[in-house]
Structure 1
Amino acid sequence: MKLKTKISFLLFSSLLLLFVAIFYNSIVDLRNASAKSAESQALSTAKVIEAGLTAHMVSGTMDQRDVFINQVTALENMKQLWLVRSSKVSHQYGKGPFGEDARDGIDKSVLESGETVIESTGGIFEDATVRLSMPYKATANGKLDCLSCHDVKAGDTLGVISVEMKANDLKALSYRNIIIGSLLLVVLFGGMVFFLYKKVLIYFDRFDAMGRCARLAQNGDLSARIPDELSDDNDAKALNRLIEKFETSLVTIQENLSDIIQINSEDDPLQALSDGSARLNDIATFTHTLQRDANASEAYVHIAHHFSDKFKIDDVNLITYNPLSEETQIVYEKKVILCDAQSGCRAARTGEIVDSSMPDGICPKMISPNEHYVCVPYTINSGSTFVVSMVSDKKSMLNGVCSNTHIVNETLQAIRGEIAHHQMHEDIVKLQRIDPLSGLYTKNFLLERMFMIVKESKRTAIPYGVMIMNVDDFTTINDVYGEKVGDETIRIIGRTLLDSLRESDVIARISGDEFAVLLYDCDPLHVNNVGEKIRSLFANKKLKAHSSGFIKTMRIGTAIFPQQHKDIAQCLAYARLAMNEAKREGGNLSVKFHTRLLESN
């Protein structure tokens, strides 16, 4: 079926349904209005009867009320009128000459509740009747004192006034209005149909052409245009210009995005752009996450989790390589890494993807031959290459990675600034905390740790051994053998201390040849033993100087925190006093602090 036929059928059907709906709604509304009017008229009539009965009672002519009732009953549209006495009135005055008992349930309910009841009966095409039953209640206001004649209370229901009235006159008027309105609607809808047929349906050939352009555009083909013979109006020409502009803009966007991410727009360029923008949004969100990370370790965790979620690979490892120093470091490993990357990473060194599924992709650094892996390198800057290594014991798990390594490169390209920032910050922190010559902590870090130890001691009371040491006559090394030998001596002291002490101990170089040690959870005896051990080890080391060698000794002072003082800085001062005492006694000695040293100093 052609579009023109479909639209014609749809328009005419819609107009017909609209006409029927308006017609029916008009009938219902007019009927309801007629019923409301009839109910209002019945209520007014009942009020008149109530007032008439009251007047008869006041004037004492209740025996003549039948004349009044008959006159009201004879009114136009009045079907029935009757009065009902309550049980109290009947008990006092009898049932009356006209048998004024309740005729039905409505009368009884009004006698009991004292509330007016109005009901309308009859359908749209049936005779309409309005039934109203209104209570007549006792009052005691001035002359209208019902309580003087009746044995009741004010507000009691003395009886019920019930009327039935015809509503057909209003209904007939409603039907006339409906017929007139329907004729007007027919004329209006006929005019609309004529206008649509003559002025609108002639455009459907043009709509067919527009639909064809839209369908082709939806499939990515933006070359279609509305033919010249159908584009003689401004709207069709505007659509052609819009499609042409859209095609030009789409090509420009594709070219710009292609500089950032890989886009395959051969099948559906619009879908390709949508996918590309989603990837860009994902990368932007991920970049924002890395910007909020406090340090490189947090950033590496997020990077690994990002690629793990992206490719559904559980084992993701991150490796950094410094081409200047040729140093390789595993900065994040999800599991126990099965690659000897620490001794050199092939992907980082060559700058090429290492894929175990390729004949030339086997990496000699992989320890486990049963594992499958893809390692993607990316150059962050001249001093750092970043490698994302994804490992699985199932080759099929890595298929998505092998075919989408460009996604890894796109992500790393976007976050290279954040990676470089965190790496630089890590290097700065390392310089602030680690002495580059000895490999030990700096004085600033020692002071920070001392502050934390004092705070912790208030809660834990863990004792620390405090030591200060330096080399006997160190200046002679620089004077006799030169600064290079002096620097090597500092390195040897650093290695000696690291080899002799635990990871829980804090070892720092606090000045040229002066070192400090904080021994964790240490008693006085252990402090003395450690001091003597360090002194002995260093005294037995032969230091090289050009073609010869020499031996140097150390002087060491020790103290105990918090037994000897609650301030660890003061304990450090005590250890210095003990070290100075060792110097006075000739050096090559470990001396523990005693209060007599305070007197001598």
Structure 2
Amino acid sequence: MKKNIIVQFLILLILVAIFITTISLYNLRTVSIKSSVSNAEAISEVIKNGLDLHIDNPNMDEFLKSISSIKNIKSLWLARSSNINTQFGNLTFKNPKDDIDKKVLRTGITEYKITEALIHTDVRVSVPYKTTTTCIRCHQSKIGETLGVISVVLDVSTLKEIGIKSIYIIFLIVFISVAGIFLLSKKVFNPYLSLYTKLTENINQAKVGKFENIDIPEGLTTEVVQVTEDYNNLITIFKDTSLDIDTKLQGFVGYRDKSTQNTNPLNESKNIIDNLSNLYQFKKQVELDNTKGEIYTRIAQVFENKFNLKNFTFFEIDIKKQKMQKIISVGESLYCHDSIKDNPHLCRAARTKSDVISIDFHESCPYFNKKNKFYYCLNIDIVENLYLIVHFVTDTKEELEEIKNKSLFINRFLKEARPAVEVKLLMQALEESAFKDGLTQLYNRKFLDEHLKKLLPQIKRDKKKIGLLMLDMDHFKAVNDEYGHDVGDKVLKELSKILEENVRESDILVRYGGEEFMVLLIGVDTEENALAIAHKIGAKVRENEIDVYAGTIIKKTVSIGLSMYPDDSNLFDTVIKNADIALYEAKSSGRDKVVRFSKEHKTSVELF
């Protein structure tokens, strides 16, 4: 930059010198022409006066020759007008020599012509000779009328030589002046140019987060030195303040994008504040979400829209119950699902309570079965024994590294959502405690009453069926009487376990009261399928051995009544009553059997 300024200043000085020289040349030429014209006019005046005095003198030609011999006069001639030829005939005056003479005779205005060569320069001047009071004594003309032309050709080469010498002197003076000005200005401007260069470098360094003070050059004015010192003080304050802000804000977010290293700390702080604002807004939104599912969906949207993640899965693992539930899946990611879905304890992230990442040369997780993919698993401890595993999959190592860089910030979103998820789980637990039986952990009658309000309209819309099984433990009172209520409770728990193992997750299990249970087979196709399930449950109960105490084993049986909705009735209360009637028929006809409700059963009960 410094060189550019010097070159530009030098070019400016040269242009000024050229301009001055050009103006001098122009002025010199103009002066030469004017001087030549003035000389020609002076000579013409001498000739005019001579003509007035010697017009009748026979030595007139000698007079003209004497004037022609004057230095720098190359030629001299006189031209007469047509009036003179008419009046006096052929005199000393000649006819017009060329068009210039004719023009001057016609217009009465002085004309000149410049003929320039490499060395010599001539100026031809034609001056009109006009009638005066003296002339009218002899000539028949009016005062002011052009009688003739006096033409003189002057050699102005001497003036040209003088002018060229003057130009050399002027150019030399200008060159010396320019050089002097340049050297003087360079010495004066150098400290300012140096300051400008340092200031430019300092600002460029500041753009990438490097704040340095400027060394003040010598030769600056007091005012400039003071401004530079103020700038250094400002940079020092800015550096300390911006770095302090950046460090403290970094502690809130816990994330720095490595691609933004060596950037202005203020820009980085702005990004961090934006991230904090996003976190705050996210936290407020998840606090207003109604369910845990809505919270997880919102987190997934953040991962897609903010972090540009394309393949990930959320799943919960309950270590105590050994259950795994896939909640949200985006793209293709959970390649280990088949290996761990029935054995959640195999999940390394849940078992070690730490993140699991793809590693070169060996696999950190042996159950990820996609060799050309890379993975990153985050573990979030939601509540005791319940973990949220966020499983990311990438196609390249670069994408994996990007997730690593963002993992702290991703964790901040998950941690901000964790209290809201925990609240939803507690609310869910409270609801389940109100809707579940404390002994068997099956749903109770209160849940059934509430759930049927949503379930039955959906069954009608989908035109599906519900198979209702009403179960009752045979001779249950005898167990309590003989072994005590604790053994009776154990028998009921065993029955609930058998029910959970032999129905689908979509089916509903209810402890209806005492030793009486209800199974709602949702969407069962036919009553034959419902009867098959009922017989399967009866067989499992019959085969089950219950260890009472000290090696004492007992076996129990159940009686089951079946009614179909809406085949038997469009009113579910009636279906419940029908299943209860069928159960009564099973117990009264010998127990340990399954009875399908029929209208005959209803009639016999009513008669009884």
Q: After superposition, give the CA deviation of every residue in 1:56-99 in whole Å (9 maximum; x if it has no partner).
A: xxxxxxxxxxxxxxxxxxxxxxxxxxxxxxxxxxxxxxxxxxxx
After TM superposition, give the deviation of residue 363 of structure 1 in Å: 1.7
Question: Equivalent residue for 1:599?
Answer: 606
2 CA distance for matches of 1:477 and 1:271? 76
Q: Within the alignment, does 1:253 sit opposite 2:245 as a pair? A: yes
Q: How does 1:22-421 map to 2 (within 5 A)?
A: 220=209, 224=213, 230=223, 247=239, 249-260=241-252, 261-263=254-256, 267-321=263-317, 330-334=326-330, 335=332, 337-339=334-336, 340-341=339-340, 342-358=344-360, 362-380=364-382, 383-421=385-423
Question: Equivalent residue for 2:470?
Answer: 468
After TM superposition, give the deviation of residue 285 of structure 1 in Å: 4.1
CA contact (8 A) 2:206 2:264 kept: no
The verdict on how the C-alpha distance between 1:324 and 1:577 changes in structure 2, with shifts beyond 3 A counting, is: closer
Letter in 1 for 2:555: I
After TM superposition, give the deviation of residue 289 of structure 1 in Å: 4.6
2 CA distance for matches of 1:483 and 1:416? 41
1 CA distance for matches of 2:500 and 2:384? 33
After TM superposition, give the deviation of residue 224 of structure 1 in Å: 4.7
Question: Equivalent residue for 1:538?
Answer: 541
After TM superposition, give the deviation of residue 296 of structure 1 in Å: 2.5
Q: After superposition, give the CA deviation of every residue in 1:554-592 in whole Å (9 maximum; x if it has no partner).
A: 223333434544321132123324434544455334443
CA contact (8 A) 1:328 1:343 kept: no
Letter in 2 for 1:599: E
2 CA distance for matches of 1:421 and 1:588? 45
The verdict on how the C-alpha distance between 1:598 and 1:511 changes in structure 2, with shifts beyond 3 A counting, is: same
TM-score by length of 2: 0.54
Letter in 2 for 1:557: G
Question: Equivalent residue for 2:32?
Answer: none
After TM superposition, give the deviation of residue 298 of structure 1 in Å: 3.5
CA contact (8 A) 1:441 1:508 kept: yes
After TM superposition, give the deviation of residue 354 of structure 1 in Å: 2.5
Q: After superposition, give the CA deviation of every residue in 1:179-230 in whole Å (9 maximum; x if it has no partner).
A: xxxxxxxxxxxxxxxxxxxxxxxxx99x989987877765545665999954
Question: Equivalent residue for 1:489?
Answer: 491
Q: After superposition, give the CA deviation of every residue in 1:91-137 in whole Å (9 maximum; x if it has no partner).
A: xxxxxxxxxxxxxxxxxxxxxxxxxxxxxxxxxxxxxxxxxxxxxxx
The verdict on how the C-alpha distance between 1:596 and 1:292 changes in structure 2, with shifts beyond 3 A counting, is: same
- Identity %, equivalent residues: 23
CA contact (8 A) 2:312 2:334 kept: no
CA contact (8 A) 1:371 1:393 kept: yes
Match 2:447 to one of 438, 445, 448: 445
For structure 1, list consecutive stretches of 5 or more residues without a partner in the other structure.
Answer: 6-203
2 CA distance for matches of 1:239 and 1:299? 50
Letter in 1 for 2:447: F
For structure 2, list consecutive stretches of 5 or more residues without a partner in the other structure.
Answer: 6-191
TM-score by length of 1: 0.54
CA contact (8 A) 1:328 1:344 kept: no
The verdict on how the C-alpha distance between 1:467 and 1:348 changes in structure 2, with shifts beyond 3 A counting, is: closer
2 CA distance for matches of 1:534 and 1:381? 34
The verdict on how the C-alpha distance between 1:498 and 1:287 changes in structure 2, with shifts beyond 3 A counting, is: same
2 CA distance for matches of 1:493 and 1:248? 71
Q: Within the alignment, does 1:553 sit opposite 2:535 as a pair? A: no
1 CA distance for matches of 2:484 and 2:516? 18
1 CA distance for matches of 2:452 and 2:512? 13
Matched position secondary structure for 2:468: strand
CA contact (8 A) 1:380 1:386 kept: yes
After TM superposition, give the deviation of residue 273 of structure 1 in Å: 0.9
CA contact (8 A) 1:375 1:390 kept: yes
Letter in 2 for 1:497: L
After TM superposition, give the deviation of residue 247 of structure 1 in Å: 5.0
CA contact (8 A) 1:226 1:240 kept: no
Question: Equivalent residue for 1:566?
Answer: 570
The verdict on how the C-alpha distance between 1:323 and 1:238 changes in structure 2, with shifts beyond 3 A counting, is: farther
Letter in 2 for 1:281: S
2 CA distance for matches of 1:516 and 1:500? 14
Question: Equivalent residue for 2:95?
Answer: none
After TM superposition, give the deviation of residue 499 of structure 1 in Å: 4.9
Instruction: State the superposition RMSD in angstroms.
Output: 4.5
The verdict on how the C-alpha distance between 1:237 and 1:477 changes in structure 2, with shifts beyond 3 A counting, is: farther
2 CA distance for matches of 1:464 and 1:429? 25
Matched position secondary structure for 1:307: helix
The verdict on how the C-alpha distance between 1:534 and 1:398 changes in structure 2, with shifts beyond 3 A counting, is: closer
1 CA distance for matches of 2:403 and 2:242? 29
Matched position secondary structure for 2:513: coil
1 CA distance for matches of 2:564 and 2:571? 11
Q: What is the number of equivalent residue pairs in this alignment?
A: 401
Report which of the two structures shows the higher radius of gyration computed on alpha carbons. Answer: 2
After TM superposition, give the deviation of residue 515 of structure 1 in Å: 0.9
The verdict on how the C-alpha distance between 1:314 and 1:543 changes in structure 2, with shifts beyond 3 A counting, is: same
Q: After superposition, give the CA deviation of every residue in 1:426-456 in whole Å (9 maximum; x if it has no partner).
A: 5445555665754644433322343345435
After TM superposition, give the deviation of residue 277 of structure 1 in Å: 2.1
2 CA distance for matches of 1:517 and 1:537? 15
Matched position secondary structure for 2:495: helix
The verdict on how the C-alpha distance between 1:270 and 1:474 changes in structure 2, with shifts beyond 3 A counting, is: same
Matched position secondary structure for 1:587: coil
CA contact (8 A) 1:467 1:575 kept: yes
Q: After superposition, give the CA deviation of every residue in 1:380-417 in whole Å (9 maximum; x if it has no partner).
A: 55544443322234334323123433333333333332
CA contact (8 A) 1:485 1:544 kept: no
CA contact (8 A) 1:346 1:354 kept: yes
1 CA distance for matches of 2:413 and 2:544? 52
